[in-house]
Amino acid sequence: MRSLFKVIVRGLTYGYFEGVSGLAGSVEVIEDRDGSSPLAPRKSPGLASFDNVTLRQGMTTNTELWDWWQETYNAVRGTGSPPAENFRRDVLILQLDRAGNTVGSWKLLRAWVAHISTEDWDASASEHQVLSAELAHEGIERVAVPSVV
Q: Residue 147: how many CB atoms within 10 A of its CB?
A: 6
Could you give the residue ranges of the DSSP H alpha helices within 39-129? 64-76
SS3 2: coil
> What b/e sequence results for 84-98 when a residue is b if at least 16 CB atoms lie within 10 Å of its CB, and e otherwise?
eeebbbbbbbbbbee
More confident position, 76 or 65: 65
The verdict on whether omega for the bond into residue 82 sits within 30 degrees of 0, i.e. cis, is no
Q: Is 134:116 a contact under the CB 8 Å cutoff?
A: yes
25-32 vs 102-118, strand pairing mode? unpaired
How does pLDDT run across 24-63, given as a tens digit for each residue? Answer: 999 999 998 877 767 888 899 999 999 999 999 988 888 8
Domain boundaries defined on the chain: 4-23+50-142
Under 8 Å between Cβ of 134 and 115: yes
Q: Residue 127: which pLDDT band, with cuts at 50, 70 and 90?
A: low
